[in-house]
Structures are given as structure tokens and as C-alpha cells.
Structure 1
Amino acid sequence: MKEFGYERVFDVPGAVALLGTDPDARFLGGGTNLVDLMKAGVERPTLLIDVQELPLNTIEFTPDGGLRIGATVTNSDLAAHTEVRRHYPALAQALLAGASGQLRNMATVGGNLLQRTRCGYFSDLAQPCNKRVPDSGCPAIAGEHHNHAILGASEHCVATHPSDMAVALAAFDAVVSYETADGPGELPIAEFYRPVGETPHIETALPPGALITGVTLPSAAVAAHSRFRKVRERASYAFAIGSIAAALDVQDGAVREVRLAFGAVASRPWRARAAERALTGGPADTEAFAAAADAELAAAEALPENGYKVTLMRNLVVSVLTELAEEAAR
């Protein structure tokens, strides 16, 4: 591991100012992803700026009844929070599915959003990777890609985003807050992650030198009737091969509102807008759920070894929405 400096900061302006003094510095939260990448030589910061003592560790209601979550709140605290479990159960479920208890105790909300892909070519310095070294190539397309993207990929990268938490946040239209030397800003999570396009190494729309300060969940009654489901290759804390965050509001057998987001199928959490449009106002039954899934997955471009994800995601949509519809009918 490359030698690096370490500084602990106690206020947001000081953290942002310190990062501005060194273009190779990185903010350090729980370190559950960054430190691993440093050990592998993928990340080589000259300075780590420890942000865990910043006053960003609260969860509180917003004036409209939503929740404001500080960036240094741990995944364990967020998953266990009474209001999160009551008003956004899919988020709590996603966090619990995302990692072991030990990792959840360390991982922070801000760091979770900025996780890097777990593509094996990205973490192997002996291999080319456009996400790690721009314009070097994407060997996954012709190589090992059974857990790679089927939606929104490009000829430059087919890696998937690993965060379970971000999938639930995408379903609930979360807004990410940040601070720069020029002041505060916000990004809807739909705009936070950039499409992979020709620049897979540029993963978010955060401006240079930005520090994530929190995430806001808007008030949404439908979110209380939500579920997160994750499929993985083994029952331990493995990364998803497919996941879904879904929320459903049914009245008189018809879909009044629905939220759907997919994980492990694209370079970012995938909001299933086509499926939502197909379902809204229609019947809340298995046939409609399957047709909506097909409408969303019509855009899938599978590689030779990951076509199974199309069937997997179709089954997840039908299964989870059917469960939610049956609960609504009780």
C-alpha cells in the first residue's frame, strides 16, 4: 500500500478546504470499500481525511414529513431506526441485506453511495479496465461477465453498481446533499449517478471537491408499503446478482401508485419507469405485473453469460408486487 497522510476533521468547511489542498486526497468514512481498494492498489490517495467526527450523524424529520439522513450515519443505525422501518421498510431491508453486521457498524451513508464496482477486472491491476484506466478497454465484454449489466451498459463498460441501499433510495426519489468550497448543492438520486456512456470512470455528477453531507427522503405514503428483495449466489453476505425495491398502493384492485428500482443490472440503480407507467391505473394482478416487467426489460442487452438476469428480474417483479398486492387486499 502506498504511504499516505491522515487528518481528522471536525467541521464541514474545514473538511472541504482540506480536500482542496490536495487533488489526490480522499474522504474517509467507515473505509469498508476505500481501504480494500487501497490494499489492492486501485486507489492510491496521498491523504485520507477522516470525516466520522463531522456533525452529520443524525436522522430527523423534514417539514414535509420526509427524513433527512446525515452522511456519517452508519448503515446499522439507519437500518434500526424506528421511522425508517415504519415509513421506508424497503430501505431498512436493503441495508440489512447489504453486508454483515460488522460492516454495517462501520459503513456510512455517504460512503455507501460512493461504492465502486466489484467487477474483477476493475480490482485486478494486471487487467485493462476503462473504469480504472480510461481508454484501456473492457475485457469483461468478451471475458467473465455473468454478473454484469444488462441495462444501460455501453461498449466501454458493463460493470454493475454494488449498493443495495442506493436501489431503495432510487425507488423513493432521494435527494443527495453536498458541500463544496462554493457552497451547498443538491442532486436528485436520478441524476447523481451518471450513465456509463464513453466515460465509465466518471461515476457521479458530484462537482470536484464535493463532500456528501446527507440524503433526504421525500414524504411518500406509498413507501410504507414497500419491500426489498435480493438474489445472490450464496446465502451469506454476497453481492446481488439481481435485486428490487418495490412499493405499491392498491385501491379497489387497481394500482394507484407504484415504485420500482432494480439493482445489479446496470452501472447505477435502475429506476423502472417503463414498468411503473405500464402498471399505474391498471389491475394489480400477476398478468399485469409480468407485462410491466417485460415492458421494462425490453431494453435489456444481455451478454452470452448473463441473459439469465432478464428472467430473474421478471420473476422478482412478479413475486414482490404480488406479495405487496396480497398484503394490500387483507
Structure 2
Amino acid sequence: MARSWRLYLFRAVCLILTIAFLRPASHPYNLSWTSPGLVSDGKTVAQVVVAALEKDDVRWIDNGYWDVWKYEADNPNAKHPVPKNKGHEAMIYLTHIIDQYDHLAPRVIFMHAGRYQWHNDDPRYDAKNNLQNLRLKHVDEEGYVNLRCHWFQGCPLAVNLTMAPYLNPLHANPTADFDHLYTSTLRHLFSTLPIPKAVAATCCSQFAVTASAIRRHKKDVYINIRKWLMETEMHDYYSGRVLEYMWHILFGKEAVNCPAADDCYCRTYGKCGLKCEEGDCGQYQYPINIPRLKTWWWKIKHLFG
């Protein structure tokens, strides 16, 4: 009897999980690949700069409109190589800006190679959904737009700079360490820039920016940043993360750049009328346990059609 009860319980749990996996997003949206923000004349409307490794397959990005630039950090013989595999995606982004400074598309989208990643701001963690729903008019209006609207990691505060000058850089506190590293790097790279009290922006180094926003600085500025990135003794994790919370400042936004999540989803992706609280509109959940399994489920479902 006990064995039969356990069997029924197991079947019930499997049924609940299956329903959860197959349940559509709470706010469904257009799943066709042509973005509603794209023109229909067949012209390239943006460069997509992809931070990748040689093994990464990025064909999921190509839809005929994007000019896709795959940079392979670990392959010196790649079509688009980088001078050094250092600083995570920052080396790739800076290399593209430097090499293509005079030939940038009107808009450039910087992103990671993986279609499914924990930080993709989508109910299915699917970057393709983000790309296909991206409102390019909003990018044109803002100059810089982070592809992430959810406030979890980075907003309302990513770096506290008020105490950083007094912190011991060897202090065994990761937050204090990072705040100190960020401040010292900001002073080194932008000595004339007033140090803000705080820095905040949504994570995770995926964003769209206009060519004019990039060119608000001369090419030498980006060359200098890349030189620092190549020469710094800072661990890759920290050097990449320092720049992660510096891109928005570099491209003309205030040090604290945390748009209201509901406005961000509406203007960036056309998902309007969402009910939000403290930067959470129900579009993203940190992938622990079931959400993580759900991510893998969508990978498998996509693989088998």
C-alpha cells in the first residue's frame, strides 16, 4: 500500500513539473524572428558584437538584418580575433569599438554568445526573444540601453564610492574589495571625472548603443581603457566587472542609471502594462532549482523542435 502511494505521488509530481515546464510565459509576446523594431527594406539595421569562444555556435542570432560579428577570445586565427584573452567580454567590446570606430553601424548591440543564460531578462532566459522584441527606436532615443530591465544585480546600488578611499584593498570583504578596485580604476582612467557617491546599473554587460554615443569619446579613450585591461594585474573577474558597471557612464548616462522596470520593459521590448514592485515585473526569476531546470527544458525543446 505504501509503495502504491509513493508511486501515485511520484506521478503527480511529474505531472506538475511537466505542466510548469510547458506553461507559456505569463505575458506572451510575438515569437516571430523579425523584430517589430526593424525596418522592412532588407538593410542591416545594427551590428551585433558577440563575445564568444571558438566552440560557440551563434547562428541563432542571424536573421538577415543583423550584421553579426563573432569575436573568439580563445582563437588568435579567428575572423575577428582579440589581442589578448583577458577581461571577459570587455576585451571584445573594446576591440570592436577601436577597430570599427570609423565604420560603426548606426546601432551596435553587444552581447554574449549563449542563447540561454541565467541573466537573460526573459521568462525563458532566451536572448533570442530579447533581440527579436528590441525596440530600436528606443535605442536611438536613449543612445544607450541595457538589455536587462530587472533590477536584480546592479540596482538600486552596485558600487558604494563614499567609503572606497578609506578601505583597505586587501580587506577580506569582496564587496569592499570591489568598491575599492572600481574607484581606483575610475580615477586612473578618467582622472578629470568627478567621483560619484554611488554607481548603479542593471547587470550583465549586454546592451545596445548608438554610434554617436560611442563617438562622444575619441578613439584614444577606448585604446587607453583596453591598454589598462591588458596590463592590469587585477583578476579577470574583477576587471571585467569593473567595466560592467562603467559602460553606461562611458556612453553618457548618469552614474546611477536604474530606469523604472515597467517603463524599461515597455520602451525596450514593447511589454507594456506590467505590474512591478521594486524592479521586478514578473518577467525574470533568478534560476535556482525549478527555474534552472526550466532553462534546460527550453534548450532541449528547441533542439528537438
Shorter-chain TM-score range: under 0.3
TM-score (norm 1): 0.25
Decide which structure has greater helix share: 2
Decide which structure has greater strand share: 1
